[in-house]
Structure 1
Amino acid sequence: MPFKDILEQAKARADGFAKQHNINLPPQIAAQLAPSQQRPAGNPSYAPPIPGNKPHNPTPQGQLQPYWRPAFSPNSQVSEHFKHQLGDHGWGNNELQNYVASPENSFYTPDGKLVLRAIARGGQFTSARLTSHSTLSRQRGSLVAVATPPCAEGIWPALWLLPNEPFQWPNEGEFDILETWNADGVNHSCLHWGHFNGEDWNKHRVMETNVADMARRPIRYEFVWEQDEHKGRNDGGGRAVWYIDGRAIMKAEIPAGTRRISDWQIIINVAMGGNVCQGKRPADGHYDMVVHELKLSDEPSDGWGRFQADFASAPEGHP
């Protein structure tokens, strides 16, 4: 993607979060964040059905037991484990969707999957945005998500982390684990802890990973973190590694000023249209983010020894 497009998306995202969290940006920053003009509607080739039980060959975990694993049971309510965030105000990014709590847009399947379904129907757009009631709760640990994201023009699925509300964005941080848009076949792993201006230019780390078949099979994402338990609430410090299908794809030191990761929550959503999608609108149909597994564990999938080695050798994201 050309640098100009990346910068425009970054600015759009900064403006979106600022509006979403009622943040007043300095005038010199706000002047750079004018929303882009929408382009004519795109035409996705398909609205993916719910994938079946295709094996994804996760990394063996031995006898390790997760300390949080929501039961994706059709006999329970999604709201038991997640809060529905609601609204059709564009989320500061000119997005099209109305986030609702309808069982048509977020539900558990009979075979134990969580589905967030974005629906485009005659110019109406509904979707789901879920935030975990549980925080990460530990000074070090592992988040594993096995998911099949929808990939189509005008569709922007994400699984990411933000501090427990209330918080100051972006100063207290953001970790993006699964993020892709407009069927680009690329996962965008990110760490943000500053605005998109000259002073904060280096407070962003991004790594693009090509996953050409991401819409056709479950992808295994893992985020591993460790912090000193004696650090304060916003002291930062520590390390993190992002994984896709068992491969370390990005590492980062946790910046000073960010919230303790033990106080962060998981967010899953499917956005539609907006500045990040460059004004492209989804065609009529449904677009499913299928979460096959979600869990938090005290130890990474392959142990802390593997994490240490991966942190030594994995690449840092580029600013």
Structure 2
Amino acid sequence: MPDFKSLLDKAKAKAEGFAQQHNIPTQFPGQGQQYPIPPPNHPNQPYAPPIPPNKPVFSPAAYWQPSFSPSTPVSNNFKHQLGAHGWGNNELQNYISANENSFHTPENKLIVRAISSNGQYTSARLTSHKTLSKQRGSLIAVATPPCATGIWPALWLLPNEPFQWPNEGECDILETWNADCINHSCFHWGQFNGEDWNKHRVMESHIPDMSSGRPIRYEFVWEQDERADRNTGGGRGIWYIDNRAVMKAPIPAGARRMSDWQIIINVAMGGNVCQGKTPANGHYDMIIHELKLCDEPTGGWSRFEADWRAGPEGHP
């Protein structure tokens, strides 16, 4: 069972860093009124083992699927976000567009590589040109995240730029750090203060074999009425890991419409979230085996409805 105070401290550090980057003031529970937060990994929500390889999983057809062919430049599908300014979180890496930090393999995989070399740190941060584009659909990513001290890989969503963070929302699908083998599924749409304390949904999923190098299947399914807007809100999201629903959350008033969000893939190094720990010399690869946007989720919309009724809610 992870230390919950440590998890909370990491969440605070992440939020403070992002807020600093965007010049946003923050206040946390603990700096004023205290709010109860359920512990992670509730006993009635254990992590289920992955589906055996001999059991087929229906994978819906894609309306967008980037080519990871070596003949296709990474920049065809993604913008490289660049910089060594700490990204508001005292991170170590310089995000660059060099081929050694982001490339396609002969096996048609996308690699985002963080490199630590005698106190020099380079990595890549990719933002998709494509937005989710539709009122409802499914994002499927099969990925092998790096698992090491001082390493913070993520596959997540932010609204198309320009946007106001965190008021317009943030959605984290794959996020883990310091080799703790815990994935953080999150939806944020407000500050970490007394007024907005409940505007966050989070679920920690322990994946015991995360460091084994096996591909992990992530899926985020969203559904919004065409009439929903930032004033009225409306909509639902479910997060899956290895074909199991691990969290559900509403899409509230104030968040940007999901059709206008983009995919981000990056590997950060060090910083507040990693509690100041630094990676050893070497390279650390986020391997994206498959990435696509689909009109329907795995198992269809009837399964989504069943999972919405029975799935676990993220805690604040």
Is TM-score (shorter-chain normalized) higher than 0.5?
yes
* 1-structure distance, mates of 2:225, 2:10: 34
Deviations along 1:90-111, whole A, 9 cap, x unmatched? 0010100000000000000001
Confirm or deny: 8 A CA contact 2:81 2:96 kept in the other structure. Answer: yes
CA separation of 1:122 and 1:158: change in aligned 2, threshold 3 A = same
Q: Which residue of 1 aligns with 2:239?
A: 242
* 2-structure distance, mates of 1:24, 1:174: 15
2:67 pairs with 1:66: no
Q: Which residue of 2 aligns with 1:284?
A: 281
Q: Which residue of 2 aligns with 1:46?
A: none
Q: Which residue of 1 aligns with 2:95?
A: 99
Q: Which residue of 1 aligns with 2:299?
A: 302
Structure 1, unmatched stretches of 5+, are 33-53
Identity of aligned residues (%): 71
Question: TM-score, normalization: structure 1?
Answer: 0.88
* 2-structure distance, mates of 1:237, 1:57: 35
CA separation of 1:56 and 1:111: change in aligned 2, threshold 3 A = farther
Of 193, 213, 218, the match for 2:215: 218
Deviations along 1:259-317, whole A, 9 cap, x unmatched? 00000000000000000001100000000000000000011111000000000000001
- The 5-angstrom pairing of residues 125-136 of structure 1 reads 125-136=121-132
Deviations along 1:117-145, whole A, 9 cap, x unmatched? 00000110000000000000000000000
Counterpart residue type for residue 131 of structure 1: T
Question: What is the number of residues matched between the two proteins?
Answer: 293
CA separation of 1:181 and 1:58: change in aligned 2, threshold 3 A = farther
Deviations along 1:66-120, whole A, 9 cap, x unmatched? 1100000100100000000000000010100000000000000001000000000
Counterpart residue type for residue 23 of structure 2: I
Q: Which residue of 2 aligns with 1:317?
A: 314
Shift of residue 55, structure 1, vs aligned partner: 5.9
2:16 pairs with 1:15: yes
- The 5-angstrom pairing of residues 149-228 of structure 1 reads 149-215=145-211, 216-228=213-225
Moved more, 301-310 or 11-20: 11-20
Confirm or deny: 8 A CA contact 2:228 2:235 kept in the other structure. Answer: no
2:3 pairs with 1:2: yes
Structure 2, unmatched stretches of 5+, are 32-51
Q: Which residue of 1 aligns with 2:290?
A: 293
SS at match of 1:248: strand
Confirm or deny: 8 A CA contact 1:56 1:219 kept in the other structure. Answer: no
Counterpart residue type for residue 18 of structure 1: A
Question: TM-score, normalization: structure 2?
Answer: 0.89
